[in-house]
Structure 1
Amino acid sequence: MEFPSPLQPATLIKRYKRFLADVRLPSGEITTIHCANTGAMTGCATPGDTVWYSTSPSTTRKYPYSWELSQTTDHHWIGINTLRANQLVEELLTRQGVPSLAQFTHWQREVAFGDEKSRIDFVLSNEKDQKYYLEVKSVTLLANGKGYFPDTVTARGQKHLRELMSIVKQGHRAGLFFAVLHTGIHQVSAAKHLDPVYAQLLREAIAIGVEVIVYRAQISRHQLLLVDPIPFIE
C-alpha cells in the first residue's frame, strides 16, 4: 500500500484524548493532528520521536493531518494507524500471499456473526462454498526484544476469540491474523503479563483449531506492505 499523498515529518510533543496529538513541524510551528489509534500505543508515542503524517484533501475536517507512522530514536518504524491493518491484509489476500488461504478467492468485509453480536473482519469463500472466518489484529508492542498482543486489557479481543472458537466448533475454519506494524518485532506472543484472560483464551482457541497467522510489514515513509511470515510463540 502506497500512501495516497507524500507523508510529512514532525516531532511528537504529546498524545492526548486518545484521538489527538500535538507535534512540532520543521518550521517550528506547533499543530494538532488526528490519531486513529485508540489503543494504549505503548512505546509508539514517545515525545521526541518523529511522526509522519498524511494530509486529507477534505476542506471540512477540523484536523486535516493524520498520524500514520512513528520513527523511533532506535530507528524502528511503526504503523500506528490501525485502519491500515485490514487494508494491508486485503492486499495480501488479493495477491494470494498466504499459502494456507490461497484457495479462497472471494471475501466479504465487516460481516456480522456470532452469539455475542460481533463483526468479523473478513469472511473468505471459494467456489466449493467453503468459508474461512478471519479476524485481524495490529501488533505494535515491542518489549524485551519481542512483540506482544494486546498492549492493554482488551474485552473486545476476548469476545472475538470466543466467537472464533464458536465458529470452529460449528465445523468452519477460523483464523486470527496478527499484522505486525513494527520493524523491530520478529516474533509475536500473547501478552499474558498485560491481559492474562486474553492469553488463556488464545491458548484454548489454538487447542481447538483456531489458526494463528503472523506477517510482518515493510514500512517506509512511502509505503506499508506485509511481506513475510514470522513465528507466533505460545
Structure 2
Amino acid sequence: MKLPPLWSGVLIARYKRFLADIRLDDGRVITAHCPNTGSMRAVNVPGCRVWVSWHDNPKRRLAWTWELIELPDGAMASIHTGRANALVQEALEAGTLLPFEPPWTLQREVRTGDSRLDFCLTPEEGAPVWLEVKQVTLKEAGSGYFPDSVSTRGRRHLETLMALRAAGDRAVLVFLVAHDGIDDVRPAAHLDLAYARTFQAACEAGVEVMMLACDITPEQVTACRYRRLY
C-alpha cells in the first residue's frame, strides 16, 4: 500500500484518545488526529520520530493524521488501524499470500448475528469463508500480543466466528501485524484473560488463526509475510 506524502517530526503527547501533539522537523507544533482507539500500549512513546499525513478536506476537524512511529529499538509501526483491512484486502486480491483459492466473491463489513465481520469470501463451490482482522502493534518480551487492553468487542467477534464454524462455514481470525519487529502473535492473557480463554476455545472449535506481517517505510506499508498460527 502506497502511503500519501508524509511529514516527519517528534511525538510530544497523545491524549483524549484521538489527539496527538507533534513537533514537525520545521519547528511547527501541530495537533494530529490519532486514528487508533486502543490503548496503543508500547507504541505511544513521546520523544520518538513519527510521520503524519496532511489532508485538505475542509470538512475535517484536523488536517493532520498520525500514520507511523519509529520505536526506540528501531522498529517501525503503523498506528493507523483504518489501513489494516485495506492491507488484508490487497493480500486477498493478489492471491499470493493468504491461502484462499480464487475464484470467490468478496464482501466487506458483513453483518452476521450480533457482529459485523470484516470480510466474507463466497467461493463458486463450497462454504463461505469469514475473516475478522485485528491489527497488532503490541510487542512485549519479544512477542506480539493482542489485545493491548480489555476487548469485549474482540471477544464477541471470536464467539461469532465459533458460531459460524459450528454451522459449517470456514472461520478465520487474521492478525495484521503492523509492527516490523514482531514475528509471532499470542493472546494477551496478562491484559485480558477473558479474551485469551475465548481465543483458546475458538481454536479448539476449529477457528483458524493466521498472521500477516508487514514491511513498513514512510513510503509504503507492504503485507509480505504469512504464517498460520492455529
Q: TM-score range by the shorter chain?
A: over 0.9
Distance in 2, Cα, partners of 1:55 & 1:9: 11
1:88 partner amino acid: L
> Partners of 1:163 and 1:142 in 2: how far apart?
27
Contact 1:125–1:132 (CA<8 Å) still a contact in 2? yes
**Which residue of structure 2 lines up, in the alignment, with residue 71 of structure 1?**
70
Distance in 2, Cα, partners of 1:98 & 1:72: 27
**Which residue, 139, 160, 164 being the options, matches 2:161?**
164
Hey, what's the Cα distance between the residues in 2 that align with 1:192 and 1:186? 18
Equivalent position SS for 1:120: strand
* Equivalence for 2:100: 101
- The answer to whether 1:2 aligns with 2:14 is no
**Does the residue aligned with 1:84 lie in a helix, a strand or coil?**
helix
What residue is the counterpart of 2:196 in the other structure? 199
Q: Number of residues paired by the alignment? A: 230
- Give the Å deviation of 1:81: 0.4
Paired amino acid for 2:2: E
Shift of 1:123: 0.5
Question: What is residue 22 of structure 2 aligned with on the other side?
Answer: 23
CA deviation after TM superposition for structure 1 residue 78, in Å: 0.3
Instruction: Name the counterpart of 1:148.
Output: 145
**2:166 is matched by which residue type in structure 1?**
K
Aligned partner of residue 59 in structure 1, secondary structure: coil
Instruction: Return 5+ residue gaps in structure 2 as ranges.
Output: none
Partners of 1:194 and 1:124 lie apart in 2 by 32
**AA paired with 2:132?**
E
Q: Distance in 1 between matches of 2:201 and 2:211?
A: 18
Q: 1:110–1:76: structure 2 CA closer, same or farther, 3 Å change rule?
A: same
Q: Secondary structure of the residue that 1:138 maps to in structure 2? A: strand
Change (3 A) 1:119 1:104: farther
Counterpart of 1:225, as a letter, is T
In 1, Cα distance between equivalents of 2:85 and 2:115 = 16
- What residue number does 1:128 align with? 125
Q: Deviations over 1:47-73 (max 9, x none)?
A: 001111111131232211111111112
- 2 CA distance for matches of 1:99 and 1:28? 43
Partner of 1:119: 116
- Return the alpha-carbon distance in structure 1 between the equivalents of residues 53 and 98 of structure 2: 33
d(CA) in 1 for partners of 2:37 and 2:112?
A: 23
Aligned CA RMSD, in angstroms, stands at 1.3
Residues 187 and 231 of structure 1 are in contact (CA less than 8 Å); yes or no, is this contact kept in structure 2?
A: no
Structure 1 residue aligned with 2:80: 81
Return the alpha-carbon distance in structure 1 between the equivalents of residues 171 and 134 of structure 2.
14
Partners in 2 of 1:173 and 1:135 — Cα distance?
A: 12
Amino acid aligned to 1:139: V
- Aligned partner letter, 1:62: R
In the TM superposition, what is the alpha-carbon distance from 1:45 to its structure 2 partner? 1.2
User: Would you say the 8 A contact 1:41–1:141 is kept in 2?
Assistant: yes
1:215 deviates by: 1.1
Q: Which residue of 1 aligns with 2:45?
A: 46
C-alpha distance after superposition, 1:49-104 (max 9, x if no partner):
11111111312322111111111121110010000000000000000134521235
Instruction: Look up the equivalent residue of 2:212 and give its one-letter code.
Output: Y
Given that residues 104 and 124 in structure 1 are in contact (C-alpha distance below 8 angstroms), is that contact kept between their aligned partners in structure 2?
A: no
In the TM superposition, what is the alpha-carbon distance from 1:28 to its structure 2 partner?
Answer: 1.6
Instruction: Tell me what 2:36 maps to.
Output: 37
1:30 to partner: Cα distance = 1.0
Equivalent-residue separation in structure 1 for 2:199 and 2:102 (angstroms): 25
Match of 2:10 in 1: 11
